[in-house]
Amino acid sequence: MSPPVHEPLTGYREYEPDEMRRRASDFYEDVRRRRTVRDFSDRAVPKSVIEDCIQAAGTAPSGANMQPWTFAVVSDPAVKAKIRVAAEEEEREFYASRAPQEWLDALEPLGTDPNKPFIETAPYLIAIFVQSYGVTKDGEQVKHYYANESVGIATGMLIAAVHNAGLVSLTHTPSPMRFLNDILGRPPNERPFLLLVVGYPAEDAMVPKIAKKSLDEIAVFV
Ligand code: IYR
């Protein structure tokens, strides 16, 4: 083990209290506009925007800084078509028999169903994988810590980055999603976490009329 090397904290910025309050409230006002969208436009999105959003996600904290994530970016229409076929197959099973009635009732307000045309319409799919363990160049396994939590945090940052860029996303979770390993050629130490659909909303996009919980419903101050 080499001794830890530290460096000065140079990137940090403190703001005057007024500026801090303004920034905190501006950020909230901005992210509260974010909606999960299921109606996508096929308009092209610059690849560099997707790359920057993924780099932003890659700055997320992770257990022992293992960065246990892989972002597989799909824009090839043939690959998107394969993913759609496989996802819809799982979704048909889910809606027809796998999902308990309670789950179907919970989904009712969202109006979701097994048809997932957005998988082909949207310009980008980002399949996010959790690396349950790492593998060195010599093929040795490296332990990952809090891999799920770490990938959840990175995914949240990716969703925020996509919103900040003026795009919309859909957190799609076909279950089970192992077919993503086959289609995308990912190794067995990688488990699909989420399929993030990214693009512009369709011009006539509709979203469910739902509300977020208020501060006193989600926070306690002790
Ligand atoms: N995976 C299914 C069902 C679904 C599940 C949850 I939890 C949602 O918030 C939305 C949908 C689907 O994508 O339709």
Q: What is the pTM of this model?
A: 0.96
User: With a 6 A CB cut-off, is 206 part of the ligand 1 pocket?
Assistant: no
Which residues lie below 8 Å from residue 118, measured CB to CB, with a gap of 6+?
Answer: 38, 39, 40, 170, 172, 197
pLDDT at residue 4 in the model: 83
For CA atoms 180, 112, 164, 20, the dihedral sign is negative
Q: Ligand 1 centre and the CA of 220: distance in Å?
A: 29
Domains and CATH numbers, the chain: 52-201 (3.40.109.10)
Q: Which atom of ligand 1 is nearest to the CA of 99?
A: 3
pLDDT in tens, 40-77: 999 999 999 999 999 999 999 999 999 999 999 999 99
For ligand 1, atom 8, the nearest C-alpha belongs to: 107
Average pLDDT over residues 30-39: 98
Cβ–ligand 1 contact at 110 (below 6 Å): yes
Q: How far is the CA of 181 from the centre of ligand 1 (A)?
A: 20
Burial 96-117 (b: 16+ CB within 10 A, else e): eeebeeeeeeeeeeeebeeebe
Is there an atom of ligand 1 within 6 Å of 91 CB?
yes
Residue 79 has pLDDT above 90, yes or no: yes
Q: How confident is the model at residue 174 (pLDDT cuts 50, 70, 90)?
A: confident
pLDDT of residue 2 exceeding 80, the answer is no
Helices 147-164/17-31 angle, 10° precision: 90
pLDDT value of residue 175: 85
pLDDT band at 216 (very low <50, low <70, confident <90, very high): very high
The residue whose C-alpha atom lies closest to atom 7 belonging to ligand 1 is: 107
- Ligand 1 pocket check for 121: Cβ under 6 Å: no
